[in-house]
Amino acid sequence: MTVEELAILEPTLRRHGWCALNPKTTRALCMFDRDMARLAGFSVIQMMPYIGPEFVFPEYRGKGLSEEMHAEMKRFGEEVGIRGFMVVADSAFTQQMCEAEGLKKLEVPVYVAQVSE
């Protein structure tokens, strides 16, 4: 997808508070009215990085290692140009770290599908 092709979706994305789309990692299917004059709807598949799993062995916990790894992964993401990332907060510590970082907690159900093994 080109930046120009995705630009038609930007007003709707902004209005809903959704992230801008990266043309290198996104495909969008756009449906138009019969006259092809007005966007009727769209469906997007995109790659959104997921940080995890992350694990620190018990004898090394409480020494800032997790925070250091998280910061390094964020730096890497910025370096390669990601537009955001997801974290599954499967522990109280992870949830606390996400909240301290200002990550937005989703209030809607999230579903996962395995496409291949």
Residues 28-36 have a mean pLDDT of 90
**Full 3-state SS string of 19-65:** CCCCCCCEEEEEEECCCCCCEEEEEEEECCCEECCCCCCHHHCCCCH
Query: What ranges do the domains of the chain cover?
Result: 3-46, 50-101
List residues bridging with 41 in a β-sheet: 31
Residues 69-84 have a mean pLDDT of 86
Structure tokens that stand for 52 in this block? 């995890």
**pLDDT surpassing 90 at residue 81:** no
Q: What is the mean pLDDT of the chain?
A: 87
pLDDT of the residue at 111: 87
CB-CB neighbours of 63 under 10 Å: 10
pLDDT of the residue at 1: 65
What pTM was estimated for this model as a whole?
Answer: 0.65
Task: Return the higher-pLDDT residue of 76 and 24.
Answer: 76
pLDDT above 90 as % of the chain: 34
pLDDT above 70 as % of the chain: 99
d(C-alpha 104, C-alpha 23), whole Å: 24
